[in-house]
Structure 1
């Protein structure tokens, strides 16, 4: 017996295959083809044995092997039988779905892990489904007419069994494989199997790029292309057309033409049998399309000199092969919608989604080009838990009591980089925050993270504004409307944004601003609006396209909807709503009284006509006068300094604007209005954000941005001693159309100042202070002044492509409860993992479907 180990593993494979010798003899194979036997899905965990085997590619035995195997002809006589198999056998199979893949290199050592896949052991099959370089596909087929009764044999009566056992350690097989295998073998037991064909197609190299114009000298040559088969049209028995494309359904690709001559049925039969969307390769002659008289070239102006647009060419097919056929149980059509469980199909067949995701890649490339003066540095993903302000995801380790934390942002690492001598840094950083999810939030997201040494916030804002403008100047080639409304980004303080817009991320497309009016209101009207003593009462006036009756109907319907419940239940008092109507007493403002109505009109008449230099398309007098149908909203609030991200009137203003837009009362404005919000308070009371964990100090307030943000002026430094909530931060946000696109600040570069704010102002415990010792040391080593900013890349792509949700611009997003239904994550923690990582007792395990569909998990607002 030969002693080479590869030979032993080869005849092990043959021994398995020999069990099906009666069937193989009746249905031989062509060279290069394989065969498999079905393993029923519903019986994966039972011992009602079903066999699953694959035939390796035919080859000639060398002399030593032939001598060895012919000596055991009663086990291996099928091996050198001549192989032949009609291709029409495939046509009789239906309802085919992929079961698993298998790697078997015949000339090389066949690992027992691969053998496990082709064994009759169900559990071993499940353990061994993933292989790095599959050579063949194993398919299941239900209801096929091909049924055979196969007599099984057992290894227990052959000398091969003992020799095979010696292989398991050398091949890293599962230790229980052979015991399971032997226990599943039975004498004189027959099972019904479905005989399938596996055809291994070697992929040729494409010689033509169908995604760009073709060099003119290539026309007339023989070319090979690969892609998806689409738009098949069989005009008659001898003529057919189709297209080969690489991307989404919107990608037209290149046309192929098949002319079938009498006696040349093989390629034509393949063309008819293949399903659309199958992966194929085509070889043929590249020719120009025959144009009708006076027909112009399709997009020829886009091709440079010496090149021909792909749309003007076609391939006259000589050879057509299926690389991987598209299954019949997947229905594709214009009305077909694929859910998150089949995200791969959604990406491939939703042209809009595919286009947005391709744009995301292009935008990333443009950003990298623009930031050529920066060092792109990847900071670690496995960090540690520090109280920066958001909830973290922990990653347990095998060391009891220790865990990594996924970074909320690379903030501390990039500040350490500034102390390391790196003057300009950026990266497309993955960040993780365990927050309540909404349309513009994901538990993991990407941001363009930047930091600059030897500068302040003004320098960073100037750099980022230049980046954004430069990117927009290059977006003319994209299919999305990306017009910037203002050449210079306005700069609005946080106080002005909250006072005039009721939001720290104002949408400048809403030209109707908020104004204080309590000084012109009669006392009885104030009492109707609120029970607060000495309140601030603010007003916002809208001018919509409609008369007073239409606007009254609109606002009544909105206030009766569920969206308005939060405004009706406001503890500071419900809103006051008035519609200007010249036909009513005091023109609909009778609750103001004569003097109050006149004072209100005078107040609006004194306002500037064009705030922030933006021209009102409705007319310059719109914001300063009252006209029929004007909607006036009043809202009371306590007379305290602003905190948080919005006021109640700010929320109502935005909700009414969006509802009016949906109702067609306002013309949509697709332009992008960028602006900067500056001078945020350095600290925010915990009462304003009760769900925010903050820094965990005992002061009763937390850092508005993060605890590394510097006070803006020397006067603000002095206020740290007396009134921390009055301190202004050198903190700035970039906002576009009501979306907070990015935020940044000048950092504290003094170790003493950083420790003072954490210990004496935020009143963090000494244990928490120690978690920042690495940062204190870096700052202490002569760290230069530095500032930075991070742009939410997902949000920016969503804004530029006109989408409300970032899930529409991420390849594999999480759902509303943080679940990924495609891969079924998060997964349950097994008992073995709990023991390995020292985790405490967990709640009853739930499936990802239970998490996704709301039987557990927190509610999402």
Structure 2
């Protein structure tokens, strides 16, 4: 009975809605009546004049005939038929909703001069030469890589002719509108096709039909900057963004083909997972079952290990991952990973596979794309395969050299397995101050970091730069080709800007000493070292193995002190300063721009990291430790395994990161494949609680069922694309990214939930607020009793908080980018 009354009230409300004003509607009706705009599509379409083209009329008549042969839409849906509106709106409907199946685009392959073709696309601004001659560029919607440029030529010589009517139609269509164009192809006169340029065609207009006029209130300029809530317009009018998305799609295809050729199969893993203490914060998805929620996966890590136990020995997937972490230029709350896992394999097998895959990626990039400098960014532009190179089987001659580019187009460099370097974590931290070294930073511009024990610096000097007892003092040198005065001005301005630098945080325990080499001053500007230490420093810089290349006027020497302890974390203060100095010097032109790609494998990471004040939740153990990457990473050797309990901070992991130009684009590891060993690491070393251990019971069961040895890797695909496209943020290679506050301003997410949703999903229930009357509650949403247990989530604050991020600290090691 209640449902019958509710249904009757809904129908009655809809019939009488025009008379209800100023009254709040039930929420289920609100979306219908919020669609109120100051203008409509049909209001912008002028009434057709008598000069409509014959082609347009034929298209309309065909559309109307096809519609007349079909049953009325309302009748076919079983509803009441609505009479046609014989007004401008009805005519506009017929004009904009033509039958595309009868007006299909002509395939681009095989375009020939004199051929009559139909093209779908967007028209650009029209150029009127005279009253009977106009030109207009057309973006071909079917040409994915914009390899053909089409220019509409509209001309007429006789009133009332087909060309005259089409010309009048062209003049009434706003720029940037989607159209269907029919015409005759012609090769443009007096033009020569340049290698790598788009093929040009002239299209002599016969008919044109507008599918949806572009509104006049949207202003399109050449260098328009579109705000985030107009991302659809940026996608439409920013060719650089579209090129990056095209490259992303192209490389996904290349990767898929390569992995499938190596017998990998793609497996889709669930997005509705459960909360497990892997290391990073998670997003929870509430359910209508009180106290229960899903968790969005930080990565498919556990699922792909279960696949290994299930006999799927070679797996890959472009996986969506979710982490509730601090937002930075290289992070998003949701991101894409290329997941790879191999059974009966160790870390070296994975490194070899990924290195060859990286070579394949750069080969595809070099074959079809050209780096073009636009506003200081080397932007990828599609140019196609070099057609001057010979096709068919290659001749096997020892004295035959590999053919170079014959079309004169600059192409991306290629990376092969032999070009990728190797370095341990300890070496990277000691000599570069970071676990992701940028190998483009080279001497003599900026040297590596070296210890100063051999200099025997006086204690008075050390005490001036640090308050630490028994510190480790290290140094580096810069040579920017400046005079001592100019070098002093550069480093002074840089150091003064550090308090506002979010990537380089000043150490409260140490202050760097900055010296400028100047032969006109006592001890060449090194008097702070003292006479003996200054002499030792100059002798050291002259050694060939130091790579310091002696000392010259204007050289900048930086000394810094840090704690004398085993390395942990992702960088040191001097390492961050070194990278920031390089970026600033390149920006100001003191160091030449290096556009090469330098790839590096970093291995032998520490298996455990001490918990910091601002660290991620980790695994929730009581040992004061967390897994550096995730708790499933295997120790490097048997000795590391047996030393894990007694000396956990000394244990190394069989983990490996791939770094390109100072950016960690991926990481992986060999996994623990024996249930007893996994239990030992979690229970005895990390000292996880029984509740935390129970969250991994499904994984223990899979490992116990004869799981084979396995290892894997995960590309941070967004990061990889950002490096290849030379953009500062991964938001520039994602179609719909989030802001730094984790918001999608275009669609308005995250959105505030309604009171009904709070009750349905037991979320943010306000204990102090007065309950709604029973008449306003849906029967299924009423609480059963007032003694309902409190929800597991926190109550909603009385006022909506501003979205904030946590203070930026030294980023913890990404959880292997899934790894």
* TM-score band w.r.t. shorter chain: 0.7 to 0.9
Alpha-carbon distance, 1:395 to partner: 0.6
Partner of 2:633: 709
Distance in structure 1 (CA, Å) of the matches to 2:47 and 2:506: 76
Q: 1:466 aligns with which of 339, 346, 356?
A: 356
Alpha-carbon distance, 1:86 to partner: 4.1
In the alignment, is the contact (CA less than 8 A) between 2:285 and 2:293 conserved in 1? yes
Partner of 1:243: 137
Map 1:603-642; keep pairs closer than 5 Å. Answer: 603-606=540-543, 608=545, 623-642=548-567
Alpha-carbon distance, 1:660 to partner: 1.2
Distance 1:396 1:198, change over 3 A: same
Partner of 1:107: 72
In the alignment, is the contact (CA less than 8 A) between 2:499 and 2:506 conserved in 1? no
Helix, strand or coil for the counterpart of 2:643?
helix
Q: 1:368 aligns with which of 256, 267, 271?
A: 256
Distance in structure 1 (CA, Å) of the matches to 2:572 and 2:41: 68
TM-score normalised over the length of structure 2: 0.77
- Deviation per CA, 1:258-305, whole angstroms, max 9, x where unpaired? 12232234322211111111000011222333x13xx42x24x669xx
Distance in structure 1 (CA, Å) of the matches to 2:80 and 2:656: 61
Distance in structure 2 (CA, Å) of the matches to 1:828 and 1:252: 47
Alpha-carbon distance, 1:750 to partner: 0.5
**Higher mean C-alpha displacement, 264-273 vs 632-641:** 264-273
Partner of 1:479: 370
Distance 1:742 1:414, change over 3 A: same
Question: Does 2:343 correspond to 1:453?
Answer: yes
Partner of 2:155: 259
Query: Would you say how many aligned residue pairs link Structure 1 and Structure 2?
Result: 681
Alpha-carbon distance, 1:788 to partner: 0.5
Alpha-carbon distance, 1:716 to partner: 0.5
Helix, strand or coil for the counterpart of 2:137?
strand
In the alignment, is the contact (CA less than 8 A) between 2:499 and 2:505 conserved in 1? no
**Coordinate RMSD, CA, aligned:** 3.6
Higher relative contact order (CA 8 A, sep 6+): 2
Distance in structure 2 (CA, Å) of the matches to 1:370 and 1:817: 37
- Deviation per CA, 1:131-161, whole angstroms, max 9, x where unpaired? xxxx99x999xxxxxxxxxxxxxxxxxxxxx
**Which structure is larger by alpha-carbon Rg, 1 or 2?**
1
Partner of 2:573: 648
Question: Does 2:172 correspond to 1:277?
Answer: no
Distance in structure 1 (CA, Å) of the matches to 2:734 and 2:148: 24
Partner of 2:676: 752
Helix, strand or coil for the counterpart of 2:667?
strand
In the alignment, is the contact (CA less than 8 A) between 1:529 and 1:573 conserved in 2? yes
Alpha-carbon distance, 1:568 to partner: 8.3
Question: Does 2:128 correspond to 1:234?
Answer: yes
- Deviation per CA, 1:591-616, whole angstroms, max 9, x where unpaired? 1112101212233333536xxxxxxx
**Higher mean C-alpha displacement, 503-512 vs 837-846:** 837-846
Question: Does 2:648 correspond to 1:724?
Answer: yes
Distance 1:404 1:599, change over 3 A: same
Partner of 1:182: none
Distance 1:752 1:42, change over 3 A: closer
Partner of 1:411: 301
Question: Does 2:436 correspond to 1:505?
Answer: yes
Helix, strand or coil for the counterpart of 1:228?
strand
Distance in structure 2 (CA, Å) of the matches to 1:629 and 1:139: 77
Distance in structure 1 (CA, Å) of the matches to 2:237 and 2:94: 27
Helix, strand or coil for the counterpart of 2:438?
coil
Partner of 2:110: 215
Helix, strand or coil for the counterpart of 2:232?
helix
Q: 1:536 aligns with which of 469, 472, 494?
A: 472
Distance 1:406 1:45, change over 3 A: closer
- Deviation per CA, 1:526-565, whole angstroms, max 9, x where unpaired? 1111121111000011111312111100011111124467
Helix, strand or coil for the counterpart of 2:100?
coil
Partner of 1:740: 664
Distance 1:771 1:607, change over 3 A: farther
Question: Does 2:385 correspond to 1:385?
Answer: no
In the alignment, is the contact (CA less than 8 A) between 2:51 and 2:168 conserved in 1? no
Helix, strand or coil for the counterpart of 2:631?
coil
Q: 1:803 aligns with which of 727, 730, 755?
A: 727
Distance 1:585 1:568, change over 3 A: farther
Partner of 2:427: 496
Alpha-carbon distance, 1:198 to partner: 6.6
Q: 1:679 aligns with which of 562, 582, 604?
A: 604
In the alignment, is the contact (CA less than 8 A) between 2:42 and 2:92 conserved in 1? no
Question: Does 2:243 correspond to 1:355?
Answer: yes
In the alignment, is the contact (CA less than 8 A) between 1:249 and 1:351 conserved in 2? no
Give the gaps of 5 or more residues in structure 1.
1-11, 20-40, 56-83, 91-102, 120-134, 141-193, 304-308, 610-621
Distance in structure 1 (CA, Å) of the matches to 2:31 and 2:707: 64
In the alignment, is the contact (CA less than 8 A) between 2:148 and 2:199 conserved in 1? no
Partner of 1:427: 317
Distance in structure 2 (CA, Å) of the matches to 1:817 and 1:540: 37
In the alignment, is the contact (CA less than 8 A) between 1:493 and 1:680 conserved in 2? yes
Q: 2:207 aligns with which of 299, 319, 329?
A: 319
In the alignment, is the contact (CA less than 8 A) between 2:498 and 2:505 conserved in 1? no
In the alignment, is the contact (CA less than 8 A) between 1:816 and 1:860 conserved in 2? no
- Deviation per CA, 1:827-851, whole angstroms, max 9, x where unpaired? 111111111111132435888xx85
Alpha-carbon distance, 1:42 to partner: 14
Distance in structure 2 (CA, Å) of the matches to 1:272 and 1:367: 46
Distance in structure 1 (CA, Å) of the matches to 2:239 and 2:644: 55
Distance 1:114 1:658, change over 3 A: farther
Alpha-carbon distance, 1:203 to partner: 4.3
Distance 1:346 1:53, change over 3 A: closer
Question: Does 2:229 correspond to 1:341?
Answer: yes
In the alignment, is the contact (CA less than 8 A) between 1:828 and 1:846 conserved in 2? no
Alpha-carbon distance, 1:196 to partner: 8.0
Helix, strand or coil for the counterpart of 1:359?
helix
Distance in structure 2 (CA, Å) of the matches to 1:470 and 1:198: 50
Map 1:123-162; keep pairs closer than 5 Å. Answer: none
Q: 1:596 aligns with which of 533, 536, 541?
A: 533
Distance in structure 1 (CA, Å) of the matches to 2:251 and 2:171: 41
Distance 1:504 1:484, change over 3 A: farther
Give the gaps of 5 or more residues in structure 2.
1-10, 19-29, 53-66, 372-377, 379-411, 766-794, 810-819
Partner of 1:71: none
Distance in structure 2 (CA, Å) of the matches to 1:496 and 1:418: 33
- Deviation per CA, 1:332-387, whole angstroms, max 9, x where unpaired? 11132111111010011112111111111111111111112211111111111100
Distance in structure 2 (CA, Å) of the matches to 1:235 and 1:552: 60
Q: 1:659 aligns with which of 584, 607, 610?
A: 584
Distance in structure 2 (CA, Å) of the matches to 1:550 and 1:793: 42
In the alignment, is the contact (CA less than 8 A) between 2:74 and 2:80 conserved in 1? no
